[in-house]
Amino acid sequence: MLEQLNQIESQALGELEAVQDEDGLQRWKVAHLGRNSSLMKTFDQLGGLSKEERPAVGRRANEVKRALESALEKSSSSLRQVALQRLLEAERLDVTLPGRTTLRGRLHPATQTLREVYRVFGEMGFQVYRSREVESDEFNFQLLNFPPNHPAREMQDSFYVDSGAQRGDNPILLRTHTSPGQIHAMREFAALNPDNPPPVRIILPGMCFRYEQITARSEMQFNQVEGLAVGLNITFGDLKGTLTDFARRMYGQQVRSRFRASHFPFTEPSAEMDIECFVCGGQGCAVCKRTGWLEILGCGMVHPVVLRNGGYDPERYSGYAFGMGPERITMLRHRIEDIRYFWSNDLRFLEQF
Ligand code: DAH
């Protein structure tokens, strides 16, 4: 009997060595520690043994049982260890490896300048007014006091959308400047109270299009920011004060500015505004072409004809307007030498801002 127990033990332990996984362990347990295993049957047979034999066999059977149970325990935990090890190997993650950089978007340099212009005029009480990019000749030119065939149109060669055959002298075109927005805005404001139109204080940003030879200095599409203030008792002094303040807020409190007489059909009198060259401080350099000054915008008092076309009686109301090219401002600021960079979508350019 004792001999038999020794054999049971060594056979079970031998088989256990070959077990590879959890299932195998389970099967082994049933075979060697289960109700029908030889070991458990030995316990059943104890009652049939003689008094002398029984204690020794009982003790030995218990020893074998404990030995098998502890071997099972050990083997089970080492199998779990091996499985975990394998999983760790397979799912290895090297946290010291540098990650892939995420590409961050950014604002286009023209947008950055536009937003700065909005901020400055916003602080001065101007609202942003959006106007359409496709216009009729009437709004783009005629209502702004450019009669058909007026030579001032020469400066703004246009993209006509139709031939004008059906529309006579009012063909459709892509706006050549933001100024037609002045008429749309004034009419919209005036409609609120036709007898006493409310004051207007707006900026009109947006894309303009001209049928131009594309060169380093001129593109066929570009942004403008138009400004318009209409009300009672608005003078040229208001225009100068507002635009001088704009220049200071945009370029620094020290910056000097000057106004030169000019001509636009929709303003009278008209002027061009220069600021002191911020590159050389007015000494004269390549950027300002040795003049010490940089031209930044056109402006003037709104022409009486334009006021009337907008629904404002020029006998009672006056106003000023201005127009600037933010790309040009951006070019001066960052010394960008070619305007074509703005819309050619070259990341090597765009990522510098
Ligand atoms: N519309 C003009 C242009 O594109 C710019 C301009 C000049 C606008 C004077 C104005 C102004 O409102 O008063 O050339």
With cut-offs at 50, 70 and 90, classify the pLDDT of residue 184.
very high
Q: Is 326 near ligand 1, meaning CB less than 6 Å away? A: no
Name the residue type at position 239: L
Cα–ligand 1 centroid distance for 202 (angstroms): 14
Q: Is 274 near ligand 1, meaning CB less than 6 Å away? A: no
Q: Which of 263, 264, 297 to mutate to test the pocket of ligand 1 (most atoms within 8 A of CB)?
A: 264
Cα–ligand 1 centroid distance for 100 (angstroms): 48
- How far is Cα 11 from Cα 4, in angstroms, rounded to an integer? 11
Which atom, in ligand 1's list, is nearest to the CA of 176? 4
Cα–ligand 1 centroid distance for 271 (angstroms): 10
Number of H helices, E strands in the chain: 11, 9
Structure-token pair, residue 298: 């056109």
Q: What is the pLDDT of residues 202-242, one digit of tens each?
A: 999 999 999 989 998 889 999 999 999 999 999 999 999 99
Q: 3-class SS at 132?
A: coil
**Range of lowest pLDDT (93-102, 290-299, 344-353):** 93-102
Q: How far is CA 101 from CA 83, 96, 98, 104, 351, in A?
A: 35, 15, 9, 9, 15
Q: Is 319 near ligand 1, meaning CB less than 6 Å away? A: no
- Considering only CA atoms, which of 283, 282, 321 is closest in space to residue 304? 321
Q: What is the pLDDT of residues 288-340, one digit of tens each?
A: 889 999 999 999 999 999 999 999 999 999 999 999 999 998 998 888 989 99
Which atom, in ligand 1's list, is nearest to the CA of 267? 13
Which atom, in ligand 1's list, is nearest to the CA of 227? 12
- Considering only CA atoms, which of 317, 282, 274, 316 is closest in space to residue 299? 274
Which atom, in ligand 1's list, is nearest to the CA of 224? 4
The secondary element (H helix, E strand) that includes residue 235 is none
- The stretches of 252-289 forming alpha helices (DSSP H) are none
Examine the pLDDT at 153 and tell me if it is beyond 90: no
Cα–ligand 1 centroid distance for 51 (angstroms): 123
- How far is Cα 220 from Cα 226, in angstroms, rounded to an integer? 18
Q: What is the pLDDT of residues 124-147, one digit of tens each?
A: 999 999 999 999 999 999 999 998
Cα–ligand 1 centroid distance for 263 (angstroms): 10
Q: Which of 145, 200, 266 to mutate to test the pocket of ligand 1 (most atoms within 8 A of CB)?
A: 266
